Structure 1
């Protein structure tokens, strides 16, 4: 991956910690709902577990502000060890009266994700060269997608064999491993300068930083549109499966193909950035989304299967390119807040776009929903990338190769 020995050691430590942590996290995310459903018999109660995990995403700017105020290695190590203790508390669950412990632990897990994301991105920007960052951003996303394919099955199997407490213990162990891997990273960061905490300035700093860098602002608009429109298509998938005259479980086949495409897309993202640059990779991701959605809109089996693979490339390419661009263009002292702002803008709208898609599929033919998902990102890309005529120097500094 790199010829620099310390950097290679850091990369290996990061990937090992990430891989094991994702195994436990993805397993626990699924099992929490199954566990609650088993204890209460309520599907609504089970769904609340997912709400507890994703609700803290709204605290992303706070996580970014914290990442820029403290040394990153001790911060990440402490977060992972705290998360291990919180998750381990679920071994105390015995009956439906203890379900609150699962909710509390999953909320704590969501908070840990919110804090670690900006801190990891900020640490990345400090300890890795641009070439290594490109490769690791893609490899980490590929690991995440692979984990989503494998870990839920492993977690459900372990739950059936040994119960939810065993899965909680596994997840706690992976958090501990992640803490150990972070401790092995070789990086001596100076203590950040102490300054008063200004709530308004610190929590909006990342958003203001993105607004001042045109290349990054456009990347977030394009990637955010692609990710948001993918949420609109979620409900239409069920109608597609019905139109194919397949049982609901066939959605698992389409999801597996999409996941396989995502793994391949993540692995190829780094080499693609070096070949075509961040801007073109985002545009290729938008084109993949349009092509894959168009294939699904045919309502035929073979195009739907092929479209699922094509769709798998879309979001990883948009996401990796945007993350890499953020790490390249934003100063080190603002990396945490900028990363948190990017995450908030890209993913916070997901519940709204999925709800909109659920409403649309009841009002119009599901194929029109897929056509809409294909057309809107293309239209936004065409509008956003129109030539801008300026009379003075371009704002936001000198764009690098391949920047938007």
Structure 2
């Protein structure tokens, strides 16, 4: 792992802000459904909260990217983190089942605000590091996501039984406030290049057209959309895999989630070095195909045995290519997408992912019963193999490396319109 990017002051501030706020999010995401279930004894109440978050994602994700491309990205991150901290405070009023509606409103609002912060962070990152450090910076971002995923759920479980929802909400609010303070210390102005006339419809259409025209960005869109269908299936059926397939329980479920986070950490630690040695499109394809093949083994393992520790080891293994291909994909996206379009193009990709995730969830219910949980999860794994091959087909041979044409220039100044699909 190349940690030099963290010594660049402004990127270091962004990195620590992300790690702190993500960890706080994981704490609340574990404590919140436990507390709501205790109050209501209703799985429907928990699913309503999930649905509210998805609604915020879809409604605001449709246009948030256009404003990210209009406004200063650093200021967006500061403001959104402050608003997210404030929005959590009504959770302190939730102490009975008849106040769970407050949780639903907060879940909607938090996800709506996140549709501004995620593309803003992705668009800001290339401005804070030199081009030759961009891949390492993205690998470090994958590292902090994996560390937060490893630490946050464990803290959330402890919070649920010690300080409850109110304490977890205050902890998450404090993490957002600290993240806002760190982002405020980032130097300079970070507004995108001029975008000409400001007409929301035309701006959004320009982002969609760009994703469709640039073969590399289109390949990223497709691979994330296909994998998101699988994520929707996984999110619905994974607990059945653990309980019915392996004959295990909640403790083992936690082990497997943590194991994949450990794999993601290991992958991110070697990502920059691996990315520097291989052609990016071939590397992304290979990592994704490997991920899918290991998934197929994992979801067929209960047909042979139900001992849990080999599955834990396989989950560590399957997390490693994630740390590599996620770093490579976002570096490719950032180099290929002009600064003035990054917010919109990013949100087009994640809107596709959100819709695909809903489709996966819709498939999982009826087809999980009809063709069997293990069979459907096996198809999901095979789908990742297909996604990797499709990525290579659409992206083609690709650039020789993930380095900008002029290594000493900031990545945000690289003209990325050179490879398009006619």
TM-score normalised according to structure 2 size: 0.84
Is contact 1:138-1:267 (8 Å) kept?
Answer: yes
State the alpha-carbon separation in 2 of the partners of residues 231 and 310 from structure 1.
Answer: 21
Deviation for aligned residue 1:25: 1.1
Deviation for aligned residue 1:264: 1.8
Question: In the alignment, does 2:291 pair up with 1:292?
Answer: no
Is contact 1:87-1:169 (8 Å) kept?
Answer: yes
Query: Aligned to 1:369, which of 376, 399, 422?
Result: 376
Deviation for aligned residue 1:217: 1.3
What does the per-residue CA deviation read over 1:85-112, in whole Å, with 9 as the maximum and x for residues that have no partner? 1112322333333322222222221112
Q: Which runs of 5+ in 1 are unaligned?
A: 389-393
Aligned to 2:254: 252
State the alpha-carbon separation in 1 of the partners of residues 238 and 90 from structure 2.
Answer: 38
Is contact 2:27-2:155 (8 Å) kept?
Answer: yes
> What SS is found at the alignment partner of 2:63?
helix
Is contact 2:81-2:179 (8 Å) kept?
Answer: yes
Question: In the alignment, does 2:177 pair up with 1:153?
Answer: no
Question: In the alignment, does 2:93 pair up with 1:86?
Answer: no
Q: Residues 103-182 of structure 1: matches in 2 within 5 Å?
A: 103-182=104-183
Deviation for aligned residue 1:283: 1.1
Question: In the alignment, does 2:324 pair up with 1:317?
Answer: yes
Q: Which runs of 5+ in 2 are unaligned?
A: 403-418
What does the per-residue CA deviation read over 1:350-398, in whole Å, with 9 as the maximum and x for residues that have no partner? 122133133333122444334323333334544564599xxxxx9xxx9
What does the per-residue CA deviation read over 1:201-252, in whole Å, with 9 as the maximum and x for residues that have no partner? 2223222111111122123323432343344344156235533343464333
**272 and 195 in structure 1: CA distance in 2 versus 1, 3 angstrom threshold:** same
Is contact 1:236-1:357 (8 Å) kept?
Answer: no
Is contact 2:8-2:129 (8 Å) kept?
Answer: no
Aligned to 2:267: 265
Aligned to 2:71: 70
What does the per-residue CA deviation read over 1:149-203, in whole Å, with 9 as the maximum and x for residues that have no partner? 3212312323432332221111111111111111111223368648554232222
Would you say how many aligned residue pairs link Structure 1 and Structure 2? 395
State the alpha-carbon separation in 2 of the partners of residues 129 and 114 from structure 1.
Answer: 26
What's the Cα RMSD here?
2.9
Is contact 1:27-1:154 (8 Å) kept?
Answer: yes
> What SS is found at the alignment partner of 2:188?
coil
**384 and 8 in structure 1: CA distance in 2 versus 1, 3 angstrom threshold:** closer
Aligned to 1:46: 46
Q: Residues 236-251 of structure 1: matches in 2 within 5 Å?
A: 238-239=240-241, 241-247=243-249, 249-251=251-253
State the alpha-carbon separation in 1 of the partners of residues 56 and 95 from structure 2.
Answer: 26
State the alpha-carbon separation in 1 of the partners of residues 191 and 387 from structure 2.
Answer: 42
State the alpha-carbon separation in 2 of the partners of residues 245 and 157 from structure 1.
Answer: 25
Aligned to 2:399: 400
State the alpha-carbon separation in 2 of the partners of residues 186 and 10 from structure 1.
Answer: 7
